[in-house]
Structure 1
Amino acid sequence: MQKDGSLPDNVDVDQLMTKAGMALGGDGVDRVLIQPIRVDTDPANPEAARVIIEVLSGNLRFLNGYGPKGQLLRQNVAGWKIEFAARISDRGGLALAEAEANPEQGQLSCDNVLLKNYFVAAMTEWLRGQAQNVLARTEGRFAVIPRNEFLRCYLRPLLLEPLQVRLDELPDFIHSREGLAGELKASECLNEKSGVEATLYNGARAEFVPTKAGWQYRDHVLLHWQEANRTLHDRESEQDVHCTLALATQPGEDGRPHATLDIISTLTRYEWDSVKQELPASRQRTYMGKAWARATLQWSLRIQWLAAADGSIRMTVQERKGMPRTDAGTTGIYVVSDPLPHLINVHRICQWWENHSASLAPVRSELAEPLAAATTTVFERIVQALAPDGNRHCRGLRINERGDIEMELGE
């Protein structure tokens, strides 16, 4: 509203020649210009808002003395800041008619209590004078679904919980050496699982944990063992599985920002083999060299909710699957033509990665697309509830700085 001129960018409350004997603003150097007004809301208290106004430049004028001999003095108010408590109406409008100042949360760099009290009173009068115009512009314009509510009603039952079940069904890599030659060296092994205290033996499975942008799952296992005969092999086998869910505002194919949910899943497999050979003369084992190999696979899904030109809400689900990234190498006189196929069966890992219950195809068809369809229906119902006569439509969906879903309504 300040940008389009429907809300003044200056404050002018003139009571200089009345009982107050003071004025905030005026002409020339006295003109009080304000910074863009900031409005903060709290998801825990959706009926309240904080309005913060900071003065860019200008003066508070006051008379020193009485009658025609009274001297006109000025107090520079640049940098002064005041906070107001306001109400959010039932239709989401900013109601300023009863806004109350909170001087304790402000910055009023002056020791004169009388001047500070007048500044607060004048700013309150000015702000309340904008109430009708502000309410008309903001009421019914935005609908906000709090992040926690969206998580509880939609993301958790339709995506997080079923995806957690599917990940729990995957074999735990900690058991991949069971029944095979070579005893694990526990002190060199790792079992890191997000959300739980995992050991080599307690059977704990990784869980999704909240992050600033969304939620993250990690299952990281490192196994170390030895295989010994005339040749001693120190072996390590490592698997790291990541799954990230992130809510944010991202540009779509049309270049405009849209509410976006990204699902990214990554698998990294690493194998390492160090060899010591027993020499016939000394019966001692001598280090011969080592080989290592790594393969990384990743896929991603992007759900975007778009406000179409006709006011309807539609969604897109885009998938991306990268080619396996591999690298390998040897040191010493480890004799092998190619360490990658010698240590890792990339084809078999790719087949498993593409066909388990938490892979790209089933997550898209059984989780992501139903979630997108269900939430799109909910967004449309919200628009219909706020504009039952059909005079307002959705003009945009975004994720705001608190992670809430914000829908903008327009004619």
Structure 2
Amino acid sequence: MVTTKAVFFEIGSETATSVQQLSASWFTSGNLLESTIAAMREAGEFPNSIRYGSIEVGSLALGGEGEDEAVLRPIEIRYDSASPNLAHLTLTLGGGSLRFYNGYGRKDILRQPVAGWRLEFTAAVNEYGGLVLQAALCDVDKSYLPCDNAPLKEFFITAVGHWLRSWAGPVLEKTAMRRAVINRESFLRQYIYPMVVEKLQRRLDSLPDYVASREGIAQVNQHESQNEKSGVEATLSNGERARFVRNVNGWTYRDHVLLNWQEANRTLHDRESEQDLQCTVTMGRQAGPDGVVRPTLDISSVLGRYEWDSVKQELPLSRQRSYMGKAWARATLQWSLRLQWQVEDGRVTIAALARKGMPATDAGTTGIYVVSDPLPHLLNVQRINLWWDGNAASLSSVQQDIAGSLATVTGDMFAAVAEGLAPERKLGCRDLRINESGDIEIELGA
């Protein structure tokens, strides 16, 4: 990472527009520089062998035809982000020779094999992530030149250094302004949070709080009831709503309520009603339908409902109550929405894949509890499913509003990143990925 800039973009709606700021940088790495030069070699834009000097003019030459060809192995490049202005190159020859006349006249040509000879160079990296070879310097102490002839070694160093610097222009053009990176924290905080998490939070807040679901129809035993809500200290009466809580990969939300209650005039029945609503927003990298790994945002929601009814019998003489049996029923509903960033015609777009499972149900009885089927007796799964499909935080609502808005702003946001880093260059996006550090890496090109 070489130069960090503040990149501004707008997130708009029908009622308001907010200006967000991302931390964007030109980016480079040893692997990126190596792969760039390797691609240039494959495309014929960078030579696979070194040729320097003329034996007829200067009596010394590196490389040539046939067995004299100084074949260059893949160039190794080391880049340390702790020293962002420097890169270290290793050039190793896989074959070839130095040619020179013997000391008794220009009749016999002698050859010094250079296979395995290695030179270490230090080159600059500019503020745009470009490899600057114009002033590349050879580190002789770290090089490997197995030869006792000092003039030959000196010529070899001069030849390779001059040859390397002669390719400075094409290499700089291919490496500078090629990749940008958006800091992961900036991406999550300034882009994902306002566009996804805040909107989903508002929709979840609009849902009725299950803690009040038995008000007016039952007597709730507060000592045996629970109200657990992520991000807040909730009680049965303080009205706090669950909040999304940040974790390593994104955010989690949980609203868990368990009510222990009795219906009026049915004191022989002890009831429990439990609802567990969980949502997760996770940023990572996953393979798409075509097998290509892309930046991925997974939004998922799970609703768990559980009911049980415990029946007691009142003994006529002692007026004591004894346990007879219990029935219970459970239903689990879930959906997921996968959003993947991809590049089409120079712009970043979002592909959405939604999945919704059928309700999973389970029920049973213990002891003496007479009922033909405890599931419909305790849970109206159809009504729960209709609510699950139609509430403000349902899959269809999230897909249409949240995912739709995210897709709308995404193309312009990434275009603003390219414009902010390289004004008037009109760079488009060629590829998008999450790198090893978890940051968003963008390949740019004209």
Q: Does 1:147 align with 2:216?
A: no
Shift of 1:180: 1.7
Contact 1:158 1:367 in 2 (8 A): yes
Residue 268 of structure 1 aligns to a residue whose secondary structure is strand
Closer, same or farther: CA 298–230 of 1 in aligned 2, 3 Å: closer
What SS does structure 2 have at the residue aligned with 1:182? strand
Q: How does 1:112-261 map to 2 (within 5 A)?
A: 138-186=175-223, 188-227=224-263, 232-261=268-297
Secondary structure of 2:384 counterpart: helix
Whether 1:409 aligns to 2:444 is yes
Q: Is the 8 A contact 1:306 1:396 kept in 2?
A: yes
Post-superposition offset of 1:87:
8.6
1:119 Cα offset (Å):
7.0
Q: Does residue 347 in structure 1 map to residue 403 in structure 2?
A: no
8 Å Cα contact 1:304/1:316 also seen in 2: yes
The 1-side partners of 2:264 and 2:85 are apart by 70
CA shift in 2, pair 1:152/1:181, >3 Å: closer
User: Aligned partners of 2:259 and 2:132: how far apart in 1?
Assistant: 62
Equivalent residue, structure 1, for 2:430: 395
Which secondary structure does the structure 1 equivalent of 2:410 belong to?
A: helix
Q: Aligned in 2, Cα 1:271/1:49: closer, same or farther, shift over 3 Å?
A: farther
Q: CA RMSD in A?
A: 3.9
The one-letter code of the counterpart of 1:404 is: D
Shift of the alpha carbon at 1:218? 1.0
Q: Structure 2: how far apart are the matches of 1:182 and 1:338?
A: 26
Partners of 1:371 and 1:364 lie apart in 2 by 10
Q: Deviation of residue 162 (structure 1)?
A: 1.9
* Counterpart-to-counterpart distance in 1, 2:342 and 2:367: 57
Q: 1:229 to 1:300 in 2, by over 3 A?
A: same
Change over 3 Å in CA distance of 1:2–1:149 after alignment to 2: closer
Cα distance between partner residues in 2 of 1:179 and 1:258: 51
Question: Which letter maps to 1:142?
Answer: R
Unaligned runs of 5+ in 1: 8-35, 54-83, 100-117, 121-128
Q: Does the Cα contact within 8 Å between 1:294 and 1:340 map onto a contact in 2?
A: yes
Post-superposition shift, 1:313? 3.3
Instruction: Give the stretch that moved more between structures: 171-180 or 221-230.
Output: 221-230
Structure possessing the higher radius of gyration over alpha carbons? 2
* Alignment check: 8 A CA contact 2:349 2:407 kept: no
1:201 Cα offset (Å): 2.0
Unaligned 5+ segments in structure 2 are 1-32, 47-75, 90-121, 144-160
Does the aligned pair in 1 maintain the 2:349–2:410 contact within 8 Å? no
Q: How many residues align?
A: 325
Deviation at 1:89, TM superposition (A): 4.1
User: What is the match of residue 311 of structure 2?
Assistant: 275
Quick one: distance in 2 between partners of 1:51 and 1:332?
76
Q: Letter of the 2:433 partner, please give it.
A: R
TM-score, normalization by structure 1: 0.67
C-alpha contact (below 8 Å) 1:274/1:289 kept by paired residues: yes
Instruction: Quote how far apart the aligned CAs of 1:52 are.
Output: 11
